[in-house]
Amino acid sequence: MTATPAQFEFLSTAGNMLEWHDNLDRQKPGLLELTGVSQHGRPTMSGLNDYDYQSLAYLKSDNAHNLKQLRTVTKSAIPNEILEHFKHVKCHCNMGLFPEIGRAWLTIDSEIYIWTYNQTRDVAYYDGLSHLIVSVGLVKPKPDVFVKDVMYLLVLTTPIEVIVLGVTFGENSYNEMQLMNRPIFVIGTDNVSISVIKGTDDGRIFLGGRDGCLYEVFYQAETSWFGKRCKKINLSQNLVSYMVPSFLRVFSEVDPIQTIAIDNSRRLLYILTENGSIEAWDIGSNYANVRRLSKITQSDITNKAVSLITTVDPSIFKAVRAICPLIEDESNKLHLVAVTQCGVRLYFSTTSLNTQQSFNATTPCPQTEYFGSGQPPLSAGVDAPKGLYLLHVRLPPGYTPNATTNKPREVHAAHYSEETMLMITTQQQDQDILWSVSSVPSVNHTYLVESTALESLDGIVWGLAEVHDPSRPLLNSPLYKARNPRRVALLTNQGTHIIELLKSPDILLQILLACNGPHHEEVKMFFQSQNKREACATCLLIATSEKYRGGDIALWATQAFMLYGGEPCFQNQKFSNANNRNLPNQTLSSNSAIGTERLPMFMSTPMQNKSTLPSTQYAAFQYNQHTSQASTRVPFDSQLDKTNGYTTMLMANSHLPMSDQRSMTEQAQVEEKRSLSALNLFVKHACEVISLWSILNSHSFQHLCLQLSPEHQKVLRCCTFRDLMLTRSEVCAFLIISLINLYLKDKTGVSEVSKNLRELCPNLYRHEDAVTYKATELLMSAKNCTSPVEKKQKLRTTLQMCKEAAPTLPLHSICQLFISVDFFEGVVELTAICASKSDPEEVGIHFYNNDEPPEDREGYSYFVTRMNYYKEVQLMLDHVYQATSINFNIAAQTLQIKDPLIHVTLYEWLLAHDMLTELLEVVEPTLGEFLRRSVTRNPDNVILTDLLWKYYEKNGYHSQAAKILDNLAMTRSENITLEQRIDYLVRAVMCMRNGNVGSSVTSGIFLKELEDKLEIARVQKAVLVDMTALAQKNPDASMAVKELNYSLYEITPLYQRFAEPFNLWECQLSILNCSHHNDPLLIESVWGNIISSLVEDPGSIQDRTNRLFSKIELLVREYAESGACFPFAFLIRELEIKACQLRMPEGTVPEKLVTMNLDLELILEYYSRMISMNERVWANEGNEWHLIQSAIRVVSLLADNAHAIWYRSKRRIIGKAQDIVAACLNICYQKPDTNRLQQSLKELQCRLQRLLG
């Protein structure tokens, strides 16, 4: 269930690419940069230069067709049954839109009619009022206040009341709208006419009064002791207002509220009054936190704008007619755009710049931040709002020197959406014109460039709002935004007119259709006018669209992508990111690859940085529902096939370059294909992760989390969705395990959830995983089964199921389950079938049968694979052995498998558990081969040698073979090397020991002769090796090498002719050992020469140390059991002296001696003697405490390996160690500055005492 190393590398590559694109998109200039405010550090203006406005005509090569940036979707008339009521109008009518539910409304006196504007159906009305309807609003209610059926609140105001009605729907919010007969709330207006109603996304209701005051309707679920269930609060009136006498208020000017606009992303509210003043409010989380930030009058706005632009008529800045909030997704530093009657756009921010020359607000209040007061600098949108500051003035089209369009006049409505400003102007008395000013077609600029489009409407516009898309995902997906143009509904006196704000893919589509394909200059101009990265992504959006799949348009887009996207090449490191990952210095650069990489980035951006668990819900592990609803998966699921499509498309259309440039370009294309494969894998993996999250969310997520270990819970809390998709596949794995275990714990079948996981997460939950958990379910059932027949049937069924899924299933887990139900034969059969399926050609067996040649790497790989599977058999045998004793039926079943490697596994296990008798009872031929190989690998292993002797004896070998081998060894010939002669002698001795030759005196003598010859031959081999090394410098040594290979020598000639003349100290020692020469002084002299030669050779201290102990270890192996030729006490003392001279680390000599497998008790004895002698040699060599430090190390090593001491000798050895510690302490007590040594010795003393206890 976890990602393989290759998959992890691919996912890491994809993650780095997506992060690079995400960072690049974040670095794109925003409105503050495009308007020049950020660069100049002061308010700016634009719209007077020719480059500020460009027509889409620059993308055309002729006038045969026109490019549009607006498209009419539908037009629908007002329903006839509503028009009939116009004949009965007595006083007042009004119209507007409810975009949240896709409906328009019309009030006629005291009645309201609501209908769906898309198809003019489902007409609803309400006539339960007796007074004239002044204003209308639709608000989403606060959560947990009303019953779930009440999905919206319809707020109606009359001159004396505010009425709140409940709105319910059928199964779909676009069918069967119903208004509740009785109002939910009725509040008095206090004789204030309410001109506008606006609600927030969290259910708050704001009212704008004709008295210029802002009100909020506060409502709650139940009436409390301290307040009503619903009340109207005047937010504009403060304590000072109450203190002013009412007769003085008569003389103050009343400026009625005309428009309320709310920025839900920042919790800001803006007010536009009839006199053109603008107010900014911070509405906080409830009415108690509301504060007015600033109020700017029309004259203040005009004066500031005139100070920025002095070459135009100041009257164009007067009469602000519309305000449009800029949400955080559209601009993080500019917060509001206001539109004047002449189409001038005024961009405001609620935070100031350092150099801003602000002007004072004219209506101060206790909560007001005065307009124009100095403020801290703007800091990337993180400062709290403090006021309202004009930062940029944008003149409308028509003011440039070479303008060809008319200037907008009589603007009375506006709407801003995704870099497009729509303005409604009245040119004639009964007809409006729609102006579209958009920067969407011009993305490849560092300044604000816009194109203009005009469209005549059928009547006068009463309402303008963005169409709500019910299929839009909850998370803001860039891919959804790129594929789906925004739609805007315009309500006129003739009906509803819905238009689309076209994006770059729509413009490219128009060009492709007009040019009938990509092979046209206009398509090339599109790529040149756009950033190629954006243009390639635009082509892919069309090519992979479900709407155009399989048609000419998709083909044309693909061809344009390949024609103008550019060739892959290498450039400097590209995928750098905030985490500073180590990446290659040369990376792929291809506009087509870059464009392709952006689509998965579009899909993953909304969720990748979201935490899997909200921080406020860690304790209870409550999952945030909205992050895992089905709508979240739309950007992934709906694009999975498309992603496969564009990856296949690019790979299929890749072509090789000319031969002279073939190498680098081919490498670039290979890297491009690799990156595309990584992206394809990422998208598939991301879809599966989100699908898994959806499945988990359908269960009790809290219970699932509680099933995890504390470590896994901590990992899950720290995970983001990016981690899950890229680096934390194990989190998905243990969540799946937790889910399945929850079912198994409840004794519920896992088939249904397993099927669901397999369908939605086939790679996270593979077939073998499904088999594993189904097998787990069956084995748990079998464990509780009382009928032996039924139990055996279930076990065999489970085994067969696992065999079919082998070898990719988790073998260890399955085998442990088999062991838990005592199904040992299942372990043997399953491991065998896994090995067989992993190596169907039996390459691993062939490798073993051919003496494991080192050059056969493939064979070695298969051999290791098989042996790894058979480790489960050893674990099973361990379990059985610990439970009772070895079951010979299990051994027999193992030997029935024809694979010799499983036999080897059994033999090794028997050897490891000293079950030598049972091992020799095996009659399989594989045992002889195993023992032969084992002895070859471990010639010093007495047990293996003994086993092999017994096996040969059991199988009929005799002394004749030994005699033949002896003759071969003694033959004088240049064709037989000394190594071969020794091999012959070894085989001869083994044959004599294992042959059926009896126990005669002749056989004994012969065996002794063979042993003597073998011993001398080994000495001669040592002489030959040293002589060969010496032959490179000494010509006489070359002749000696030939003589040593020609025949075997007696011990005396070896010493006199070779070892002594050439100063071969090791050979002299070997000869002395072989001849059993007992001359302690000579032997110690030879050992001293060996050690001195090793230490005196040139090199660093570390080199000399390594060289010394490597050689000593070899010599110890050879002479440790030789008696007189191994002066152990002298050797330890000499090595310690050298260690002290070379300033080796403490305890070097003891550590090396222990690793040589020397008798630890004897080592302790010799160290005890040296300590008791208390020689001055250590002080003379520069370290008085060297020997005590080494003794401490010896005892420490003993304590570390106490478990390996034979229990009968344990007390005696540890007692000797305690004596050493006591002697060392006695010495330390007599010397100053030995506190550290005393402490170490005391700690060691306590440790030894515990070992005895």
Q: Do 709 and 653 belong to one domain?
A: yes
In the predicted model, is pLDDT for residue 364 greater than 50? no
pLDDT attached to residue 887: 63
Q: What is the mean pLDDT of residues 767-780?
A: 72
**Where are the alpha helices (H) located in 727-787, listed in sequence order?**
729-745, 751-760, 767-783
Across 266-275, 695-704, 932-941, 1139-1148, the highest mean pLDDT is recorded for 266-275
Q: Do 812 and 729 belong to one domain?
A: no
Provide the pLDDT confidence category of residue 630 given band limits of 50, 70 and 90.
very low
Q: What is the DSSP letter of 661?
A: G
In the predicted model, is pLDDT for residue 361 greater than 70? no
Nearest-angstrom CA–CA distance, 423 and 341 = 10
pLDDT attached to residue 365: 39
Q: Do 642 and 747 belong to one domain?
A: yes
Maximum separation of any 2 CA atoms in the chain, in Å: 144
* Three-state DSSP state, 566: coil
Residue 332 domain-assigned (yes or no):
no
Nearest-angstrom CA–CA distance, 913 and 919 = 10
Provide the pLDDT confidence category of residue 624 given band limits of 50, 70 and 90.
very low
pLDDT attached to residue 153: 93
- Return the H-helix or E-strand segment holding 598: helix 591-608
Question: Which residue would you say has higher pLDDT here, 7 or 64?
Answer: 7
Of the candidates 364, 361, 362, which has an alpha carbon nearest to the alpha carbon of residue 240? 364
Nearest-angstrom CA–CA distance, 778 and 791 = 10
pLDDT attached to residue 885: 60
Residue at which a domain ends, from 885, 903, 922:
922
Provide the pLDDT confidence category of residue 489 given band limits of 50, 70 and 90.
very high
- Return the H-helix or E-strand segment holding 888: helix 888-896
Q: Do 709 and 816 belong to one domain?
A: no
pLDDT attached to residue 476: 66
Phi-psi region of 369 (alpha: psi -120 to 50; beta: other; left: phi over 0): beta
Q: What is the mean pLDDT of residues 1081-1104?
A: 84
Q: Do 808 and 893 belong to one domain?
A: yes
Residue at which a domain ends, from 922, 952, 979:
922
Contacts for 434 with CB less than 8 Å, ≥ 6 apart: 70, 422, 423, 424, 454, 455, 456, 457, 461, 490, 499
* Three-state DSSP state, 634: helix
What is the tens place of the pLDDT at every residue in 846-882? 998 888 888 888 999 999 999 999 999 999 988 888 8
pLDDT attached to residue 303: 93
In the predicted model, is pLDDT for residue 1230 greater than 60? yes
Tell me if 196 sits within 8 A of 258, measured CB to CB: yes
Q: What is the mean pLDDT of residues 54-59?
A: 73
Considering Cα of 851, then 856, then 857, then 858, what sign does the dihedral take? negative
Nearest-angstrom CA–CA distance, 1066 and 1087 = 8
Q: Do 704 and 816 belong to one domain?
A: no
In the predicted model, is pLDDT for residue 369 greater than 50? no
- CB count within 10 Å of CB 901 equals 22
Query: Percent of the chain at pLDDT above 70?
Result: 81
CATH code of 691's domain: 1.20.58.1780
Tell me if 430 sits within 8 A of 460, measured CB to CB: yes
Tell me if 1188 sits within 8 A of 1224, measured CB to CB: yes
Tell me if 124 sits within 8 A of 132, measured CB to CB: no
Residue 195 domain-assigned (yes or no):
no
In the predicted model, is pLDDT for residue 613 greater than 60? no
- CB count within 10 Å of CB 287 equals 16
Residue at which a domain ends, from 705, 738, 760:
760
Beta-bridged to residue 205, according to DSSP, are 199, 217
Nearest-angstrom CA–CA distance, 598 and 24 = 11
pLDDT attached to residue 658: 42
Tell me if 461 sits within 8 A of 97, measured CB to CB: no
pLDDT attached to residue 395: 93
For 806, the domain range is 799-922
Stretch among 399-403, 431-435, 1107-1111 having the lowest mean pLDDT: 399-403
Measure Cα distances from 325 to 18, 207, 267, 740 in Å: 31, 18, 11, 49
pLDDT attached to residue 149: 86
Contacts for 468 with CB less than 8 Å, ≥ 6 apart: 99, 100, 101, 102
Residue 64 domain-assigned (yes or no):
no
In the predicted model, is pLDDT for residue 629 greater than 50? no
pLDDT attached to residue 637: 46
pLDDT attached to residue 748: 64
Stretch among 364-368, 564-568, 1148-1152 having the lowest mean pLDDT: 364-368
In the predicted model, is pLDDT for residue 628 greater than 50? no
pLDDT attached to residue 172: 59
* Three-state DSSP state, 776: helix
**Where are the alpha helices (H) located in 916-998, listed in sequence order?**
916-920, 925-937, 942-954, 959-970, 978-994
pLDDT attached to residue 584: 39
Q: Is the peptide bond before 807 cis (omega within 30 degrees of 0)?
A: yes
What are the φ and ψ backbone dihedral angles of 904, each rounded to 5 degrees? -60, -40
What is the tens place of the pLDDT at every residue in 119-139? 767 788 888 888 899 999 999
pLDDT attached to residue 516: 87
Residue 648 domain-assigned (yes or no):
yes
Nearest-angstrom CA–CA distance, 727 and 14 = 11
Q: Do 824 and 740 belong to one domain?
A: no
pLDDT attached to residue 578: 37
Q: Do 726 and 826 belong to one domain?
A: no
pLDDT attached to residue 279: 94
Question: Which residue would you say has higher pLDDT here, 163 or 1045?
Answer: 163
One-letter amino acid at 289 equals N
Nearest-angstrom CA–CA distance, 16 and 597 = 11
Residue 983 domain-assigned (yes or no):
no
Question: Which residue would you say has higher pLDDT here, 174 or 755?
Answer: 755
**Helices 811-820 and 857-883, packing angle to 10 deg:** 20
Whole-model pTM over 0.75: no
Nearest-angstrom CA–CA distance, 465 and 1231 = 96
* Three-state DSSP state, 362: coil
pLDDT attached to residue 580: 41
Nearest-angstrom CA–CA distance, 31 and 329 = 11
Provide the pLDDT confidence category of residue 251 given band limits of 50, 70 and 90.
low
Nearest-angstrom CA–CA distance, 19 and 1048 = 74
Provide the pLDDT confidence category of residue 965 given band limits of 50, 70 and 90.
low
Query: Percent of the chain at pLDDT above 90?
Result: 17
Residue 883 domain-assigned (yes or no):
yes
Q: Do 517 and 603 belong to one domain?
A: yes
In the predicted model, is pLDDT for residue 270 greater than 90? yes
pLDDT attached to residue 662: 56
Tell me if 1095 sits within 8 A of 1108, measured CB to CB: yes
Q: Do 727 and 819 belong to one domain?
A: no
Number of domains in the chain: 3
Q: What is the mean pLDDT of residues 768-785?
A: 74
Q: What is the mean pLDDT of residues 583-600?
A: 49
Residue 687 domain-assigned (yes or no):
yes
In the predicted model, is pLDDT for residue 617 greater than 60? no
pLDDT attached to residue 634: 40
Q: What is the DSSP letter of 4?
A: P
Q: Do 1175 and 1124 belong to one domain?
A: yes
Q: What is the mean pLDDT of residues 536-551?
A: 84
pLDDT attached to residue 933: 84
Q: What is the mean pLDDT of residues 508-523?
A: 86
Q: Do 741 and 805 belong to one domain?
A: no
* Three-state DSSP state, 196: strand
Of the candidates 1074, 958, 968, which has an alpha carbon nearest to the alpha carbon of residue 1016? 1074
Residue 643 domain-assigned (yes or no):
yes
Provide the pLDDT confidence category of residue 210 given band limits of 50, 70 and 90.
very high
What is the tens place of the pLDDT at every residue in 310-330? 888 889 998 999 999 998 888
Q: Mean pLDDT for the chain?
A: 79
Q: What dihedral angle (degrees, nearest 10) is formed by the CA atoms of 79, 84, 85, 88?
A: 160
Return the structure tokens found at 714: 């901590």
Provide the pLDDT confidence category of residue 22 given band limits of 50, 70 and 90.
confident
Tell me if 2 sits within 8 A of 729, measured CB to CB: yes
